[in-house]
Amino acid sequence: MLDILYQDEHLVIVNKPSGLLVHRSLIDKHETEFALQTVRDQIGQYVYPVHRLDRPTSGILVMGLSSDTARIICQSIEARLMKKQYLALCRGFTPENGEIDYPLVEKLDKIADKQASIEPTAKSAFTRFERLATSSIPVEINRYPESRFSLVRLFPTEGRKHQIRRHLAHIRHPIIYDVNYGDNKYNHYFKLQFSEARLGLHAERIQLPHPFTGEILDIHCPLDSTYKQMLNIAAIENSGI
């Protein structure tokens, strides 16, 4: 059972936990649980995906309850009418705020994208961020006697694959427990402290015009217990987030 954050006769918005695939994938063909199937069984109705959320990322996932609804929402996303907001637990002290304007080349997967015939080119990718909190713990994880962390809120303009993860790694503040772009020593430390350690990225809020009424839906998604435990390990207060 997934937490339903919003539902009407046109769409449903749920809280996807970290580790759950949105839909069936050639990359993980042995998996048997998917968000689409879970929500379908939960509400007794077929659902249509309208956007992606990485498997290790938790948070808001929007689905249409008809193909027309899904099409309209996808058009809104393409027109950048959906505003997205994320939380990320990062290595080091980030600037208090900033903008990352760094084009990204989509990395093709050897299995899922093996039919692709055109080499991808760099596409614009812009992410604004603001730092919410910092902390340091008296533990030598890498080569310093203390280890530093930041909790940042991010506002990506586009939705490129792994955009936030790659952008934070680009400015040398990778997300904690990012196995693709992160710091292996930090990842190992968190795994030792907490066996359920997961990617420190959470889709916490979206603002989206309703596909039929035009009303702005403003949906917030609370942090789950695993993310809060990651913040505790980093000694970051999470009250009010």
Q: How confident is the model at residue 33 (pLDDT cuts 50, 70, 90)?
A: confident
Min mean pLDDT across 55-69, 81-95, 112-126, 200-214 is at: 112-126
pLDDT computed for residue 89 by the predictor: 98
Give the domain ranges of the chain: 3-233
62-65, long-range: CB within 8 Å, 24+ apart, which pairs?
62/11, 62/12, 62/13, 62/206, 62/208, 63/11, 63/12, 63/13, 63/14, 63/36, 63/39, 64/10, 64/11, 64/211, 65/9, 65/10, 65/11, 65/12
Any idea which residues carry the catalytic annotation? 54
Tell me how far the alpha carbon of residue 130 is from its chain's centroid.
16
Taking all residues of the chain, what is their mean pLDDT, rounded to a whole number? 92
The mean per-residue pLDDT over the stretch 2-8 comes to 97
The DSSP string of 116-181 is --S---EE--EEEEEEEEEEEES--SSSSSSEEEEEEEEEESS--TTHHHHHHHHTT-PBTT-TTT
Task: Give residue 237's pLDDT.
Answer: 84
Please tell me the predicted confidence (pLDDT) of residue 30. 64
The stretch 129-146 carries a mean pLDDT of 95
Q: Is the pLDDT of residue 234 over 80?
A: yes
Q: Choose the CATH number for 3-233 among 3.40.718.10, 3.40.50.1240, 3.40.50.12160, 3.30.2350.10.
A: 3.30.2350.10
Asked whether the predicted pLDDT for residue 28 surpasses 70, the reply is no
